[in-house]
Amino acid sequence: MAFYNSIVIQDDCMGEFQKWIAAKYQVTTTHSWASIILFYSHDECDALNRFFELFEEFKLEYKL
């Protein structure tokens, strides 16, 4: 379970986020969503900002 903007995000949601990130970046290996985002970012700060942008996009797409 994780927290985001004071709401609880269930682990199954993050599992779907993992699949969504892998599909978005066309990654077929077993890297975590965090390592995929970091790989495609300039640094850790950029990766964190990108995570929030991507998670917002994911929430809109899946109507969470």
CA dist 28 and 2 (Å) reads: 25
pLDDT digits (tens, 9 = 90+) for 15-53: 899 999 999 999 999 999 999 999 999 999 999 999 999
User: What global pTM score does this model have?
Assistant: 0.80
pLDDT at position 13: 84
Burial string for 11-22 (b: 16+ CB within 10 Å, else e) reads eebeeebbebbb
User: How much is the average pLDDT of 1-21?
Assistant: 71
Is 10 inside any structural domain?
Answer: no
Is 62 inside any structural domain?
Answer: yes
The amino acid present at 3, given as its one-letter code, is F
CA dist 48 and 37 (Å) reads: 8
CA dist 5 and 57 (Å) reads: 15
- Kindly tell me the sign of the dihedral angle through the C-alpha atoms of 49, 35, 26, 1: negative
Q: Supply the range of the domain harboring residue 36.
A: 32-64
What's the number of domains the chain is made of?
1
Is 14 inside any structural domain?
Answer: no
